[in-house]
Amino acid sequence: MLERVGFIGLGIMGRGMAGNLLTAGFPLSVWNRTAARMDELVSAGATAGKSPADVAAHSDVIVTCVSDTPDVEAVLLGPDGVINGARPGSLVIDMSTISPQATEAIAGQLAQKGIAMLDAPVSGGAEGAARGTLSIMIGGAAEDVARAMPLFEAMGKTITHVGGTGSGQTVKLVNQILVVGNTLAMSEALLFAQAGGVDLQKAFDAVSKGAGGSWMFTNRAPQIIARDWRPGFTVDLQQKDLRLVLAAADQLGAPLLGTGTVFNLYRTLQSRGLGAEGNHALIKALEHLAGFEVGAADEPEA
Ligand code: NAP
């Protein structure tokens, strides 16, 4: 018998993940702050809840996928929050990307009511959420991970229990440090290639499969060369994650010089109104400093 699942937060990620739980046969109730976003899943067989507390009252396992730390606190601990509807013995799985330290505090409050919690942030983007191929990084107790495994298997492909409460979020932030480091390296490399007067496509072909290659370079350098700024992941969300990285690094005493630089470069893009562009638009901050652009020379300045 599959457990009853409540899903809170049907954004770009949540709607695909909830859809995959429904397809896998879980009895599903949903709640989203903007109610109209529940319609599609309700038509597919889910039940619309009145509040996070209401969803929790009708569920054994409650999944959250909302934006940031205060939003998770609101849906879990607020007056209409999960904590005020869930029974002892329920399990909360937070799949948002939020602060590892706040995660520990939230788990502590839920535990006082007999509610267990896993942090299980993801990578793989909207596409991975829709296809059920996400990478899921999990922090929490082994018995809770085992209980949640049928849900994780419906939503993801690479499922890794990385340690205790909060460590899923820590590893997600490790991933984000790698992402922005690779994005900065790609941007500097393309700027240099442009300045050196070499054919960008030939430079790409020559180096993308070598030691300097990366997922970011393979997938986003062609977009930069074509000056296509459509997002896989937006500057605004990337910046939210870097804020979490730098706050955690400050608390932990880890110097992250490169990540701090990228955070400040993204801030210049946000102040130019480019927060909704893809994270590879980082190169625009360097172009601004350099006084020249990469790729098509005739594209108007954004
Ligand atoms: P999104 O499309 O902006 O959706 C955010 C969701 O959170 C919406 O359902 C929104 O409700 C809800 N929400 C935000 N604040 C809330 C609050 N205070 N109370 C109640 N609901 C609230 O974002 P997303 O891309 O799905 O991202 C969700 C999480 O996954 C984030 O933590 C993000 O960093 C992480 N993530 C995203 C990606 C990606 O590629 N997009 C990849 C990996 C991880 P409304 O509909 O009412 O606005």
Task: Decide whether any atom of ligand 1 lies within 6 Å of the 125 Cβ.
Answer: yes
**Partner residues linked to 139 by β-bridges:** 119, 163
Give yes or no for residue 75 having a pLDDT over 60: yes
Q: What is the mean pLDDT of residues 135-157?
A: 98
Task: Decide whether any atom of ligand 1 lies within 6 Å of the 67 Cβ.
Answer: yes
251-297 per-position pLDDT tens digit: 999 999 999 999 999 999 999 999 999 999 999 999 999 999 998 65
Q: Provide the mean pLDDT of the chain.
A: 96
Going by C-alpha positions, the residue among 137, 170, 168, 172 that lies closest to residue 152 is 137
224-242 per-position pLDDT tens digit: 999 999 998 999 999 999 9
Q: What is the pLDDT of residue 295?
A: 87
Ligand 1 mean position, distance from CA 170 (Å): 19
Q: What is the pLDDT of residue 232?
A: 86
Q: What is the pLDDT of residue 235?
A: 97
Q: What is the pLDDT of residue 297?
A: 55
Rounded CA-CA distance 193/207 in Å is: 11
5-47 per-position pLDDT tens digit: 999 999 999 999 999 999 999 999 999 999 999 999 999 999 9
Give yes or no for residue 300 having a pLDDT over 60: no
Burial 115-140 (b: 16+ CB within 10 A, else e): bbbbbbbbbbbeebbbebebbbbbbb
The ligand 1 atom nearest the CA atom of 14 = 26
Q: What is the pTM of this model?
A: 0.93
Task: Decide whether any atom of ligand 1 lies within 6 Å of the 236 Cβ.
Answer: no
Active site residues: 172
Please say whether the beta carbons of 82 and 76 come within 8 A. Answer: yes
172-222 per-position pLDDT tens digit: 999 999 999 999 999 999 999 999 999 999 999 999 999 999 999 999 999
Please say whether the beta carbons of 94 and 151 come within 8 A. Answer: no
Structural domains for the chain: 5-164 (3.40.50.720), 170-290 (1.10.1040.10)
Task: Decide whether any atom of ligand 1 lies within 6 Å of the 75 Cβ.
Answer: yes
Choosing from 12, 172, 173 the residue with most ligand 1 atoms within 8 A of its CB, the one to mutate for a pocket test is 12
Ligand 1 mean position, distance from CA 11 (Å): 5
Q: Grade residue 1 by pLDDT with cuts at 50, 70 and 90.
A: confident
The ligand 1 atom nearest the CA atom of 97 = 32
Task: Decide whether any atom of ligand 1 lies within 6 Å of the 231 Cβ.
Answer: no
